[in-house]
A = this chain, B = another copy of it.
Amino acid sequence: MKKMIENIFSGDIHSAASLITMIENSREDSIDYIKEIFPHTGNAYVIGITGSPGAGKSTLVSEVISSYRKQGKTVGVIAVDSSSPFTGGAVLGDRIRMQKHEADDKGVFVRSMATRGNLGGLSRATRDAVFVMDAMGRDIIIIETVGVGQVELDVAKMAYTTAVVLTPGMGDDIQAIKAGIMEIGDIFLINKADLDGAGRVEKDVFYMLHIRGARHDNWQPEIFKTVALTGEGIPEFVQGIEKHRKFLLETGLIDNKKYTKGQLINLIKERLEIMVLHDIDGSVDECVQKIVHKEIDPYTASDIIINKIKS
């Protein structure tokens, strides 16, 4: 264990990847490692990038990586796939494209995280993977997510700056569903801005930001147009991230983003759950049978089991 942790501190990708695999598989001993490395974290800048499948996120992330590499910064990428809780990793094809960076540059470490049938655990695993990359000494950590489910909302809390990627021609319905996503974006990107309709999406975003009014942190989200395939707009986007970082530093708000109450509560819930489920397995089966046969209602059943746990 000591050797592996030393290797991680010295930036060794192989050791870091092993630990992230342990985390992903929910191995109990991964927790001991996190406890050890935690004091050495807090130096990386964490960026969240989310958007629909097909929005060109992977190409975009690839361009952002290149931009930070040119500044001499090391980059870690965590590609979180919450989309297919059963089959695991349907959109991972995209990741392969990104790994071109990895093959010839030790300054880039790309890692996919897929759910193992447990969406709750995915947020925690992502948080822990951030700790690992941070302890490795990565300057920039990018978390890439798909859409706007619970995991994406959790990731938005972990990231200092969250960028939301939209594209022209998504249709009215898709735009409507993005209402939730408006709340999490510090930066909005209209990618594929060379396509018809880019102006309209930009106007929509502008309008939605406008009607929402001022955020409680007083940050005014910015909108950038990009064409990831040609690299157009990427320098402006990266400058936008830096501007938001400065804002967080100057206002002291960066501290609020370092570890939130919600994250600790989720961790407590998850661990409690694991403990509880170990203890009560037989009782639960018995109660389910009684519920099915209408001998007991679900709430009374849950009372019985909770009392058993507390005693």
Contact = CB atoms under 8 A, between A and B. Distances in A.
Nearest to A93: B176
Interface stretch (A101-109, A235-243, A259-267): A259-267
A89 to B, nearest CB: 9
A309 interface: yes
Interface stretch (A12-20, A187-195, A219-227, A292-300): A292-300
Interface in A226-270: 255, 258-261, 263-265, 267-269
B255 A292 contact: yes
B90 A176 contact: yes
A149 B146 contact: no
A90 B171 contact: no
A257 to B, nearest CB: 10
Contact of A35 (B35, B174, B299): B299
A297 B176 contact: no
Nearest to A267: B302
Given A267-B298, A268-B305, A259 B288 contact: yes
Chain A interface main SS type: helix
A268 B302 contact: yes
A285 B261 contact: yes
Contacts of A35: 297, 299-300
B264 A272 contact: no
Contacts of A91: 173, 176-177
Contacts of A285: 261
A10 interface: no
Interface stretch (A69-77, A137-145, A273-281): A273-281
Contact of A86 (B31, B179, B301): B179
Contacts of A85: 148, 150, 153, 180
Nearest to A53: B173
Contacts of A148: 83, 85
A177 B35 CA distance: 35
Interface string A83-99: 11111001101000000
Interface size range of chain A in the complex: 35 or more
A183 interface: yes
Contact of A261 (B146, B183, B284): B284
A200 to B, nearest CB: 17
A78 interface: no
Give the one of A146, A276, A284, A297 with max B CB within 10 A. A297
A197 interface: no
A269 B261 contact: no
A34 interface: yes
Closest 10 CB pairs between A and B?
A: A54-B173, A38-B297, A90-B179, A53-B173, A84-B180, A86-B183, A87-B179, A84-B179, A259-B291, A149-B149
